[in-house]
Structure 1
Amino acid sequence: MNYRFQNLLGAPYRGGNAVVVNNTLLISAVGNRVSVTDLVKSETVTLPFQASTNLRRIAASPDGVFLLTVDENNRCLFINLPRRAVLHRLSFKHQVGDVKFSPNGRFIAVAAGKLLQIWRSPGFRKEFFPFELVKTFADCNDRITSLDWSPNSDYLVVGSKDLAARLFYFEESKTKKKNNNSKPFLFLGHRDVILGAFFGVDKKTNSVSKVYTLSRDGAIFSWGYPKFEPMEEEYSEPESPGTPDVRRGQNGELVNLKKRKDMEHDTNDSDEDIGPLLHNLKWELLKKDFFLQAPAKLTACDYHRGLDMVVVGFSNGVFGLYQMPDFVCIHLLSISREKITTAVFNGLGNWLTFGCAKLGQLLVWEWKSESYILKQQGHYFDVNCIAYSPDSQLLATGADDNKIKVWTVSSGFCFVTFSEHTNSVTALHFMANNHCLLSASLDGTVRAWDLFRYRNFRTFVTPTPKQFVSLASDQSGEVICAGTLDSFEIFVWSMKTGRLLDVLSGHEGPVHGLMFSPTNAILASSSWDKTVRLWDIFEGRGGVEKFDHTHDVLTLAYRPDGKQLACSTLDGQIHFWDPLEGVEMYTIEGRRDISGGRLMTDRRLAANSSAGKCFTTLCYSADGSYILAGGSSKYICMYDVAEQVLLRRFQITLNLSLDGVLDFLNSKKMTEAGPLDLIDDDDSDTEEGIDKQTRNKLAYDLPGSMPNHGRPIIRTKCLRIAPTGRSWAAATTEGVLLYSMDESFIFDPTDLDVDVTPEAVDAALKDEQPKRALILSLRMNEDALIKKCIVAVAPAEIPAVAASVPFRYLQRLVEALAALLEKSPHLEFILRWCQELCKVHGSSIQQNSRNLLPALKSLQKVITRLHQDLADTCSSNEYMLRYLCSTSNKR
């Protein structure tokens, strides 16, 4: 039961801005979560916390320690990024257009509606009131769209929807300077909304020398101010040491500057050195430049001070890189046909990050070498089906956008996309050899994909077009079966020849469930005609058993040992059958367990509504002791099969941007025209780039009907547990959620006694008794102690110690060896352990394969990955040695 959220796949980017921290960490928003991608290690991880709605803005502190996120409800999370913990929370009263840390990290500038607020950045301490509002500027006439700090954190330039940019002066001290005009300087002349305003610096003095403003119509204005020469001294001849520091005043009298500074304590001593303040200068327009991309609009922009470069993105998918101030176009390329919603430099300026919210696309491009550092794209619509590879290293996803993506579970990256299907992908299945993937689609084809050459090497079709919704293959991989939606038949093909072998008829409804028994060649199918049928394909006897139900059967699943069959019905029950005896074993009533969440269009409460309270996907655990069930709900239920009790409910999301998350709706939002959230009063030009009418295709609605204005409804379409049993995946509206085993805080001893203590283990190791130490550590079930005892065994003593391990501790020992093999450098030592265990306990492992299967799968997964890594390393070394030998012979 101790599973926790690990990662989110299928949607690398969904809107908002992206931030690059420490030049290599890319931080982006994925719905209401934050995704962190290491561009050097090629790994991505999703942080475990959630915001209340989809994230709109992200800001990072200059040192990369703190992270600030703001969602659509203007609720802010202040996060410690290395510890992945939320430190503070804050809510803003107005819509937040932009937020940035000051270069010194002490302040946070927030564009809250028309107001520019300066907040003091909180630290690591837990405070009652961590956020302190230092100052508020209320000079803008419309919503602020962008802001930028000066390098010394004294000035801010902001752009707003009133077609003007303003230069503000922010002084940290509470005392006001004399002759300080608090009014900002206005940069006027743009004819459209200003989307970017940036400070330019002089590379010699590192001081602000110019300002760039960019508007939505594709114009960039360069602003500057006249240079001031230092004041000439009144007396040119050298003064004697006793002469006081004097200077002519405005009326011609001599003024002692030293005495004046001593008397005026409220005046800053550095005023004479820094000269006039920037916002009091008379800025002038130096140059007007245009990107000439009409009718496309500018949608994203960023400026790098060190390189003096500007990157811009447009609504037609084109981006440009320009060298300022001469406005020289370095690159002008197209990413896609959809608009770019974020464009940002990294700290060094050699990488450009682009995001397209509508396509879920995230790119990192090195502009000097013109090569991709990162290129990820999620599914355009909801994920329908998922499948784990036999070694649990790969995860395949199929969606309504007709695409199949294969992901590496450890890194979270998609490495291949298949797009040959012409309609929604409805089912996926990995073959036992781990290198072949099967897919079924509504386009009437079942395709086989080669994961070595990344091609479709076989296509299975029917004499007349059909729509396939389920897929299965036997253990040998010789027979492929697919169930249809329209003709209610099951088609059987030969994998080697691709010929149609048989057509199984008998169902009177769509065949949505199809699965072979893991132990024999019996095929089980479930249909909406309220029956589950068993078919003997190889003997040619056709249907051999029929299980009747009182409601439509939605899906089914075999237990890993093949001695139990579970099926879900429309009334919210899970029926368990003995396929060998043909009798029903027991039933789980799950209507109340899965109930939860009220739609915006529901007329009843969530507790009284009967619509959709059923399980549409089932999945057994690797050992068959529990079962996962999900459906049209925000919950995923875990049941103990033997006791028929609910063990745990996983709430897949807290995102209020999705429909069906809240159990109770706010009556204040109910109007005469209906719920306030369903009234479309958004602007036509959505800055985030997500069109609500095409954000998600709702498969459960009639074509053309949008009862909730296209607002996505939370649901679980597919559940799969990894063959290792260490993790499981759920295809939801949010994406593919990955949950992994969490053993960090659970103490679960197997055979605890008074004498079984960590001190006893250490004493046995000191007395050179490795057998006793290992048995004691296994009885305590402490992972660190078990690994310590394994490493302490001498290589010559491995056979004797392995033979002394009782069989009841074998599963825990194999799990520890798999974990050691993944991180330990002692490869041969641990492989010798595995070899001796197989020699000693080989017969026992075969007899109890069901209980040991998850641990053995974990060991197989690690060995396979290490074999692949070593093969690549050896081939590279072999090539290098051949090259060195050839060059030495020539010399």
Structure 2
Amino acid sequence: MNYRFQNLLGAPYRGGNVVITKNNLLISPVGNRVSITDLVKFQTLTLPVQSSSDICRLAASPDGVFLLIVDGNRRCLLVNLHRQVVLHRISFKNAVKAVAFSPCGSRIAVAAGKLLQIWRAPGFKKEFFPFELIRTFADFDDKVTALKWSPDSKYILAGSKDLTARLFSVNKTGVVKTKPFLFLGHRDTVVGVFLGVDKMTNTVCRAYTVTRDCYMFSWELSGGDGKFDEMGGENSEPDSPGTPEREVETESGNGVSVKNKKRKGLDGNLEENGGKWRLLRKDGFGQAPAKLTACDYHGGLDMLVVGFSNGVFRLYQLPDFICIQVMSISRQKITTALFNEAGNWLTLGCAKLGQLLVWEWRSSTYVFKQQGHFFDANCVAYSADSQFLATGADDNKVKVWTVSSGFCFVTFSEHTNAVTALHFMATNQCLLSASLDGTVRAWDLVRYRNFRTFTSPSSKQFASLAADQSGEVICAGTLDSFEIFVWSMKTGRLLDVLSGHEGPVHGLMFSPTNAILASSSWDRTVRLWDVFEGKGAVETFPHTHDVLTLVYRPDGRQLACSTLDGQIHFWDPIDGLLMYTIEGRRDIASGRLMTDRRSAANSTSGKFFTTLCYSADGSYILAAGNSKFICMYDVADQVLLRRFQVTHNLSLDGVLDILNSKNMTRDGPLDLIDDDNSDTEEGVDKQTRANLGSGLPGSIGNAGRPSIRTKCLRIAPTGRSFTAATTEGVLVYSIDESIIFDPSDLDVEVTPEAVDAALSEDQPNKALILSLRLNEDALIKKCIFAVTPMDIPAVASSIPYKYLQRLIQAFANLLESCPHLEFILRWSQELCKAQGNSIKQNSKKLLPALKSLEQAIVRRHLDLADTCSSNEYKLQYLCSTSATK
């Protein structure tokens, strides 16, 4: 039961901006969650923090400790990245288009609507109101769209949709009260603003403004000392062009009032300290009629990257505006572009395709390239050793992910319609997929190719898939003809067609112990078929409602199926008897949809399970459907053990149980009224987001609010994790290792002191058994390493059977992090020799632990193999050198 959320796969990016910290951590928003990718170790994780809706803005502190998250509901979270916890919260009054930490890390600039606000950055100290508003600039006539701090954190350049950019002073102890510098002449929204620094004097000498109509304006500060006086006027309006000469009172260092003369010309240039901002040049990017959608500037290299709505990005050397590279990553618009701190990597994102990549522009190579499913994942499947996870979706693609790193390493796109079912073969080298295009394909995971395709005599739509234990027979159920097709894996020839169902066959599975095939259909029956011996159904289990799915218990002695009335029926497949039933309508009940005319309690829609999955030992079962909950039931007692809430994202429909009546208008719910006529500047537009939630390409959703649902559940063969294919992506839950005290056989004499006493008396076998009874990881590890290599066989033979599973799991955990590889492998080998009969007799119960050990050994083997292959010639040289000496 001790599962917790671990990672989110299938969607590395869905809109908003991305951030790269100084230690090469790529932080990207995925719905209402945040994904962090280590570009050095090539691992990804998802923060357990959830925002109230889809995240639109991210900002990281210069030291990489704090992360600021702003969502579509204008709610802001300050997160400690190291501890992965929320420190402070605040809500802004207007939609936030840009947010940035100052280079000193003490202040935060927020573009909230037409206002530019400067806040004091909170720290680790507990405060009643940690966010303190320092200044508010209300000079803009439209939304602020871009921000950039000066290196000394005293000035900030901001661009707006009112076709202007302004340079503000943010030092609240300023003495000069003037209006901000105003940059005019733009003909479209200012997308990016940047400040260039003179490397000799380390002062700001240039400014760049990039507009949506594919133009860049270069501004130069000439004739002065490169420093600005303080500029005030929080509520002042900028003068119109042609303002005559005026006098501004300033205060000198000795407190004497002095009058300075300023002149503002027709072009908006403002003289200051003898210097003057002037328009140096105006350059076009030559991508019309495309729009410029993303840009970033690296001050150290003086380089600019720009991305366009047609998927093209360009790299320029400034200030000479020399184009270095022109590349295209897709045909969809680029929604984010970013340099890393060193400037050698470019991060580019395309929200509509869920694509995120890191490009090394000097060598023209990819450092990181990931793309999620365009639509929700329909099905998932674990490999036999739990190292790989396959996903299939309505975008006709099959992706295979490495569970430990969270990366997709291969994508198969030969299907021409939605992928509905997946199955890993026992060897881990073959993956099967069924699709609505009428084919079942076999994929080679060594050579990454489709080596066999199974088809029917006439075009069918396959909705379910199964393979026997030997891998010789492949079966697939159809939606339209209600038949089950049987093929030979070796020859690809159609062997048989099983007829008898009168509805779509949505559930199909072979028994783990024999060659009996079980199928479930909307005709309210579950049928058992003997594929090898005879034709026709061996036995039929009738139900009162449509049967949606079925699953075998790992030992093959129980069969569970869910029906349309919200019940889970458990059958004895050997005797053909109904064992018991679980009523799950109240447990699976979801929130209220925007289009519902009834409350969530009175609604009958969606109160049933569409996917089931047994645990590795068969003691509990997971069930989910068109709901925000995943239910875990105890099979023996038929009781609900726990409910996992998939998401708290209010951008999805069905999350709230009670809708807010103030959002109801005479035309219907306020969220369903689309009165936004402006262009979608970044992220996934409303129509696309609706299609993502509906699961049907081209379908029209309810104003961009997809409904939360879980389409597939799978538990890893190791039993340490399970995966759910949901509207939010592929969620991975794993066993929480932070549990403090969970003894298996506690007694008065079983204490940590007794373990230490046994070790001091040179009784390692007694100490190990006591530590296993206490079930403390630290004590078990201490006792394992206290055994000498010579005593391992004797200690291994003295371990009782009931502690074998815990000891094997301890070896699997040690292999993941312990450097003493040979010692742990020696332990595993001797334990298998000494306890071989016990392991063979109870292989079903020990299977999850054995799978975990196998997974750890294979992973270490692959790591060593890669290391050795990369250093093969160096090892040969060292060996030859030592031999000559």
Tell me how far apart the structure 1 counterparts of residues 817 and 165 of structure 2 sit (CA, whole Å).
54
Aligned to 2:534: 540
Q: Deviations over 1:103-155 (max 9, x none)?
A: 11110000011111000001101110100001101111110000111111111
Aligned to 2:80: 80
Aligned to 2:28: 28
| Distance change in 2, residues 1:773/1:887 (3 Å) | closer
CA contact (8 A) 2:690 2:703 kept: no
Q: Deviations over 1:36-93 (max 9, x none)?
A: 1100100010000100000000001111111101000110000111111100000000
Q: Deviations over 1:648-681 (max 9, x none)?
A: 0000000001111100101111111111001112
Unaligned ranges ≥5, structure 2: 228-250, 259-269
Matching of residue 210 in structure 1 with residue 206 in structure 2: yes
Instruction: Give the superposition deviation at 1:211.
Output: 0.6
The TM-score with structure 2 as length reference comes to 0.94
Tell me how far apart the structure 2 counterparts of residues 580 and 766 of structure 1 sit (CA, whole Å).
54
Aligned to 1:676: 670
What is the SS of the residue equivalent to 1:529? coil
Aligned length: 850
| Distance change in 2, residues 1:888/1:338 (3 Å) | farther
Matching of residue 286 in structure 1 with residue 277 in structure 2: no
Tell me how far apart the structure 2 counterparts of residues 887 and 833 of structure 1 sit (CA, whole Å).
34
CA contact (8 A) 2:690 2:701 kept: no
Tell me how far apart the structure 2 counterparts of residues 617 and 279 of structure 1 sit (CA, whole Å).
72
CA contact (8 A) 2:693 2:706 kept: no
Aligned to 2:625: 631
Tell me how far apart the structure 2 counterparts of residues 266 and 739 of structure 1 sit (CA, whole Å).
67
Aligned to 1:864: 858
Instruction: Give the superposition deviation at 1:706.
Output: 3.2
Aligned to 1:225: 221
Aligned to 1:255: none
Instruction: Give the superposition deviation at 1:707.
Output: 5.3
Tell me how far apart the structure 1 counterparts of residues 273 and 381 of structure 2 sit (CA, whole Å).
60
Instruction: Give the superposition deviation at 1:277.
Output: 9.3
Matching of residue 455 in structure 1 with residue 449 in structure 2: yes
CA contact (8 A) 1:523 1:537 kept: yes
Aligned to 1:246: none
CA contact (8 A) 2:225 2:273 kept: no
Instruction: Give the superposition deviation at 1:845.
Output: 1.7
AA of the residue aligned to 1:136 = T
Matching of residue 660 in structure 1 with residue 654 in structure 2: yes
Instruction: Give the superposition deviation at 1:694.
Output: 2.0
Instruction: Give the superposition deviation at 1:23.
Output: 4.8
Tell me how far apart the structure 2 counterparts of residues 698 and 430 of structure 1 sit (CA, whole Å).
26
Q: Deviations over 1:634-657 (max 9, x none)?
A: 000000000000000000000001
Matching of residue 649 in structure 1 with residue 643 in structure 2: yes
Aligned to 2:63: 63
Tell me how far apart the structure 1 counterparts of residues 702 and 693 of structure 2 sit (CA, whole Å).
14
CA contact (8 A) 2:219 2:277 kept: yes
Tell me how far apart the structure 2 counterparts of residues 799 and 23 of structure 1 sit (CA, whole Å).
46
Tell me how far apart the structure 2 counterparts of residues 229 and 810 of structure 1 sit (CA, whole Å).
76
Q: Deviations over 1:662-709 (max 9, x none)?
A: 001011111111110011122441122312112253686898763512
Instruction: Give the superposition deviation at 1:196.
Output: 0.7
Q: Which protein has the larger Cα radius of gyration, Structure 1 or Structure 2?
A: 1
Matching of residue 492 in structure 1 with residue 486 in structure 2: yes
AA of the residue aligned to 2:26 = L
What is the SS of the residue equivalent to 2:579? strand
Aligned to 2:114: 114
Aligned to 2:800: 806
AA of the residue aligned to 2:813 = A
Tell me how far apart the structure 2 counterparts of residues 278 and 767 of structure 1 sit (CA, whole Å).
84
CA contact (8 A) 2:694 2:701 kept: no
Q: Deviations over 1:604-631 (max 9, x none)?
A: 1111100111000000000000000000
From 456, 476, 482, the equivalent of 2:476 is: 482
| Distance change in 2, residues 1:132/1:230 (3 Å) | closer
| Distance change in 2, residues 1:141/1:801 (3 Å) | same
Unaligned ranges ≥5, structure 1: 232-258, 268-275
Aligned to 2:773: 779
Instruction: Give the superposition deviation at 1:542.
Output: 3.0
| Distance change in 2, residues 1:266/1:882 (3 Å) | farther
Tell me how far apart the structure 1 counterparts of residues 530 and 808 of structure 2 sit (CA, whole Å).
37
Aligned to 2:733: 739
Instruction: Give the superposition deviation at 1:805.
Output: 1.0
Tell me how far apart the structure 2 counterparts of residues 260 and 8 of structure 1 sit (CA, whole Å).
58
CA contact (8 A) 1:316 1:338 kept: yes
| Distance change in 2, residues 1:281/1:164 (3 Å) | farther
Instruction: Give the superposition deviation at 1:871.
Output: 2.9
Tell me how far apart the structure 2 counterparts of residues 781 and 266 of structure 1 sit (CA, whole Å).
77
Aligned to 1:433: 427
Instruction: Give the superposition deviation at 1:879.
Output: 4.0
Q: Deviations over 1:738-762 (max 9, x none)?
A: 0000131241111212221111111
Identity %: 74
Q: What are the equivalent positions in structure 2 for 1:206-285 lying under 5 Å apart?
A: 206-228=202-224, 264=255, 282-285=276-279
Matching of residue 183 in structure 1 with residue 174 in structure 2: no
AA of the residue aligned to 2:415 = H
Tell me how far apart the structure 2 counterparts of residues 33 and 199 of structure 1 sit (CA, whole Å).
32
AA of the residue aligned to 1:501 = L
What is the SS of the residue equivalent to 1:57? strand
Q: What are the equivalent positions in structure 2 for 1:510-659 lying under 5 Å apart?
A: 510-659=504-653
| Distance change in 2, residues 1:260/1:469 (3 Å) | closer
Q: What are the equivalent positions in structure 2 for 1:301-340 lying under 5 Å apart?
A: 301-340=295-334
From 172, 190, 195, the equivalent of 2:191 is: 195
Tell me how far apart the structure 1 counterparts of residues 583 and 490 of structure 2 sit (CA, whole Å).
43
Deviates more, 1:874-883 or 1:563-572: 874-883
Aligned to 1:251: none
Aligned to 2:262: none
What is the SS of the residue equivalent to 1:694? helix
What is the SS of the residue equivalent to 1:834? helix
What is the SS of the residue equivalent to 2:222? coil
| Distance change in 2, residues 1:666/1:191 (3 Å) | same
CA contact (8 A) 1:381 1:696 kept: no
Tell me how far apart the structure 1 counterparts of residues 800 and 881 of structure 2 sit (CA, whole Å).
57
| Distance change in 2, residues 1:827/1:361 (3 Å) | same
Instruction: Give the superposition deviation at 1:407.
Output: 0.3
Aligned to 1:419: 413
CA contact (8 A) 1:623 1:850 kept: yes
CA contact (8 A) 1:615 1:631 kept: yes
What is the SS of the residue equivalent to 1:761? helix
What is the SS of the residue equivalent to 2:781? helix
Instruction: Give the superposition deviation at 1:827.
Output: 2.0
Aligned to 1:829: 823
What is the SS of the residue equivalent to 2:681? coil
Instruction: Give the superposition deviation at 1:183.
Output: 1.1
Tell me how far apart the structure 2 counterparts of residues 35 and 182 of structure 1 sit (CA, whole Å).
43
Tell me how far apart the structure 2 counterparts of residues 420 and 555 of structure 1 sit (CA, whole Å).
27
AA of the residue aligned to 1:812 = R
Aligned to 2:266: none
Instruction: Give the superposition deviation at 1:225.
Output: 2.3
Matching of residue 48 in structure 1 with residue 48 in structure 2: yes
Matching of residue 347 in structure 1 with residue 347 in structure 2: no
AA of the residue aligned to 2:703 = H
Aligned to 1:153: 153
From 679, 688, 707, the equivalent of 1:685 is: 679
CA contact (8 A) 2:468 2:510 kept: yes
Matching of residue 104 in structure 1 with residue 96 in structure 2: no
Deviates more, 1:840-849 or 1:287-296: 840-849
Aligned to 2:237: none
Q: Deviations over 1:406-438 (max 9, x none)?
A: 000000000000000000000000000111000
CA contact (8 A) 1:319 1:334 kept: yes
| Distance change in 2, residues 1:556/1:62 (3 Å) | same
CA contact (8 A) 1:168 1:279 kept: no
| Distance change in 2, residues 1:863/1:277 (3 Å) | farther
Q: Deviations over 1:569-602 (max 9, x none)?
A: 0000000000000000000000000002111000
Tell me how far apart the structure 2 counterparts of residues 104 and 881 of structure 1 sit (CA, whole Å).
48
Q: CA RMSD in A?
A: 2.1
Matching of residue 89 in structure 1 with residue 89 in structure 2: yes
What is the SS of the residue equivalent to 2:603? coil
